[in-house]
Chain A
């Protein structure tokens, strides 16, 4: 396991301030992220690092043409897998068509809150999953074992709706990955993990799949849990041997209706924008944003 000396960051903050940011070379486009519904979402979760919500269209919904163009470009670059996120991807009017087009090219992961997955959609997804040559993974976000825990983060009465979406997927033959952001600290611990698994099993999901993510202290989360401290920033020499492969931004790019970005986390950071399209973004980057600190110290990867 990697050992990180957290005190080093804090105790040497003054000396470190003058150091340059680490440069991360771009290895290959393994992963194309598409912000298919921009920042438009049916929920307004308190921990959302890009402040998505029903009224936030700072990144508009992507048109089919924009999505297909990005997919075709990624195909020419040897993309390994594609991720849809938002906002809520199932708010996209053409979601079925873009899912099918994507699966002709590469495996697909969809990040969703699951609320809009009704019986018809679940059945269609199950059929598509079984017919597809490539993997179709659905990641459903849920932030508590109880309604009280979850709804405190994701909004009133969302717990039951999310559970319904998960069960519809399961019954349709898709075993979703339940993605938990560890806003409640105990959920990130082994005991919390066991409780989560037991809850899902009690609902009939016999093979629970879970992914835990640390919160990023930007966007709406900055107001909920607090922002980054001054010393929480990476500097040259901080990256460990072989860490570049684990940092997804060495092998992914995000395309939104507003252009290309290094990763899904930084799309609201104007300075992070790398250009109009995917081809403009296939270069190395400086890890100069505090959010990069979270990926480093927590070993966060957005991969499923």
Chain B
């Protein structure tokens, strides 16, 4: 059976142009025709402007605005990431100030004008892509804190069969009994707090039978990223995450099940 089309969906670049470059190359070899980034181009990593040549003015790359992009694009004071804990907010602010300072005006303007969602019909299925959730850009949709009945509500309310989101940094997929799905595609900017160095993305295959969703992992030169972060004097805590695969910051927002997995 041959694929009619393959789409690559990913989120949270977090300035990690190294993993982005690796993703575009790997997913292309896997047959991806189009690429969809669900937002949050900046934050966490080094050299914000190095991301843009890979995603701007590309016919096959579609980029959506996340909360980070909205804030950077509009030159706001903080990232509006949705953290409520002061320690989380403090680390988020370090990333944000660095990214704001090191993003060119022309790229800021580009981020400001990005769309906030995408809708398609693929293989007879209504597809909706949003950053955090369709109702709030910075809403965290975690696997352990989304009931089936809530997901059903979200899908019905937004008239879609498959909803793709990011924002939490941890990928997960829930298929309801009626076949509808919520897919959190994870991020490519940092590992998903599972002790590995790899990052996550999704391939969606359209073929004669319909649609299939495939969760994928990407290896990239994380040591190069870590070194560049050190050279830019980004916090040691961020670098440690890249080198260990465990989150050291912004942990307070994790629900108990997701927090339980990591050592911090």
Contacts and interface: CB of A to CB of B under 8 A. Distances in A.
A174 B152 CA distance: 29
A212 to B, nearest CB: 9
Interface in B236-264: 251-252, 255-257, 259-260, 263-264
A134 B256 contact: no
Contact of B149 (A79, A135, A206, A245): A79
Contact of B147 (A81, A206, A304): A81
B150 A129 contact: no
A135 B150 contact: no
A270 B146 CA distance: 33
Contact of A106 (B85, B149, B260): B149
A30 B136 CA distance: 13
Contacts of B154: 78
Given A1-B77, A78-B152, A78-B153, A209 B147 contact: no
A28 B149 contact: no
A207 B85 CA distance: 14
Contacts of B264: 207
A210 B86 CA distance: 11
A136 B147 contact: no
Contacts of B256: 129, 135-137, 174-175, 177
A193 B152 CA distance: 39
A106 B147 contact: yes
A193 B145 CA distance: 26
Contacts of B145: 80-81, 107, 134-135
Contacts of A106: 147, 149-150
A209 B254 CA distance: 10
A78 B150 contact: yes
A175 to B, nearest CB: 6
Interface in B122-137: 135-136
Interface residues of B, number: 27
A175 B157 CA distance: 35
A105 B86 contact: no
Contact of B259 (A78, A105, A175): A175
B104 interface: no
Label chain B's interface by main secondary structure. loop
A105 B255 contact: no
A190 interface: yes
Contact of A107 (B78, B136, B147, B153): B147
Interface residues of A, number: 33
B144 interface: yes
A301 interface: yes
Given A79-B149, A80-B150, A245-B136, A107 B84 contact: no
Interface string A201-219: 0000011011000000000
A117 to B, nearest CB: 15
Nearest to A76: B149
A30 B154 CA distance: 11
A209 B149 contact: no
A80 B147 contact: yes
A28 to B, nearest CB: 7
Contacts of A129: 256-257
Contacts of A232: none
B84 A301 contact: yes
A302 B256 CA distance: 16
B192 to A, nearest CB: 17
A198 interface: no
Contacts of A193: 86
B260 A79 contact: no
Interface in B143-182: 144-147, 149-150, 152-154, 157
A119 interface: no
Nearest to B90: A190
A175 B147 CA distance: 21
A283 interface: no
Contacts of B136: 245
A79 B251 CA distance: 25
A210 B157 CA distance: 34
Interface string A101-142: 000011100000000000000000000010001111100000
B257 A135 contact: yes
Interface in B79-100: 84-86
Q: Which of B144, B251, B264 has the most CB of A within 10 A?
A: B144
Nearest to B147: A106
22 contacts: A1-B77, A77-B153, A78-B149, A78-B153, A81-B145, A105-B147, A106-B149, A106-B150, A107-B146, A129-B256, A129-B257, A134-B145, A135-B145, A135-B255, A136-B256, A190-B86, A207-B251, A207-B263, A209-B259, A210-B85, A301-B84, A304-B255
Given A81-B147, A107-B145, A207-B251, 10 more contacts: A1-B78, A28-B153, A80-B147, A106-B147, A129-B257, A133-B144, A135-B142, A137-B255, A175-B256, A177-B256
